[in-house]
């Protein structure tokens, strides 16, 4: 049996999604619990390997099950054993050819910036705080240079193992919601640190340090050393993964973002 799960987590206490020998990961905690329920070792495949401190409301994983278990064992049973900052949001049996990563055709991230004079104690680790007033309209205009299939080497971390820097950005928008500025971006896939590097560049536009042409200029350089610093992981959420309709993957919610989903993106 091929089982798929929706997973939501706060990444603040983890070294990221991927299992590491030196510190706890989301994958490690999830596989331990699933293996306990399955009564055999379970290895999961995920849609996107998030970094240290990055959160998810729409992560998708799949794994092979050797012995039959009711779906509620993965939804209800796993949630009783998982730590409070990891939760299963849905469980579904899938066709044998479904793969959480390889079957996906898009990923969508949201980066949440608290734009106030003082930082929030209760939202620490969940949002990135910027004191200076941000011009979200200028950021949104600048971000449109990212659309389409392009070479994103300027936003690619040196540690990225992708054989190509080309990615296709389907849509991108920057908008304000009360005291928060949100960067919403969807692409077929993302390079390592790509979203955080894009946000770091957009913050230079938002604070007025650079013009609206700045993102296009950085993109054209195709050189990470010629781009601004990487934005913090705080506030970055994997919110949705797109799959062909034939798999009937449930839609994800924005979860702890507490933001309406009807705000338009370009």
Report the binding-site residues: 109
What sign has the CA pseudo-torsion 212, 218, 221, 226? positive
Query: How far apart, in whole angstroms, are the C-alpha atoms of residue 83 and residue 102?
Result: 28
Give the position of tokens 């299992």: 19
Which is catalytic among the residues 51, 136, 184, 234?
51
Asked if 51 is an active-site residue, the reply is yes
Phi, psi of 77, deg, nearest 5:
-65, -45
- Contact (Cβ atoms closer than 8 angstroms) between residue 105 and residue 231: no
Where is the binding site for substrate, in residues?
109
Give catalytic residue positions.
51
């Amino acid at each position: 049996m091929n089982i798929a799960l929706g997973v939501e987590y706060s990444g603040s206490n983890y070294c990221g999604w991927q299992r590491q020998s030196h510190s706890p990961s989301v994958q490690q905690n999830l596989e331990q619990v699933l293996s306990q329920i399955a009564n055999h070792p379970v290895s999961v495949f995920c849609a996107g390997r998030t970094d240290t401190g990055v959160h998810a409301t729409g992560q998708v994983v799949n794994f092979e099950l050797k012995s039959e278990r009711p779906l509620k064992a993965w939804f209800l049973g796993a949630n009783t054993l998982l730590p409070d900052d990891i939760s299963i949001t849905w469980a579904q049996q899938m066709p044998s050819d479904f793969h959480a990563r390889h079957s996906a055709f898009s990923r969508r991230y949201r980066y949440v910036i608290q734009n106030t004079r003082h930082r929030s104690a209760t939202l620490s680790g969940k949002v990135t705080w910027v004191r200076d007033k941000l011009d979200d309209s200028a950021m949104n205009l600048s971000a449109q240079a990212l659309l389409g299939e392009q070479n994103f080497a300027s936003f690619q971390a040196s540690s990225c193992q992708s054989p190509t820097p080309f990615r296709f950005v389907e849509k991108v928008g920057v908008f304000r919601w009360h005291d928060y500025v949100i960067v919403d971006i969807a692409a077929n896939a993302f390079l390592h640190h790509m979203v955080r590097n894009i946000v770091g560049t957009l913050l230079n536009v938002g604070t007025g340090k650079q013009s609206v042409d700045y993102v296009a200029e950085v993109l054209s350089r195709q050189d990470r050393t010629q781009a601004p610093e990487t934005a913090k992981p705080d506030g970055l959420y994997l919110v949705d993964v797109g799959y062909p309709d034939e798999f009937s993957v449930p839609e994800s919610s924005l979860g702890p973002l507490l933001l309406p989903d009807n705000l338009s993106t370009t």
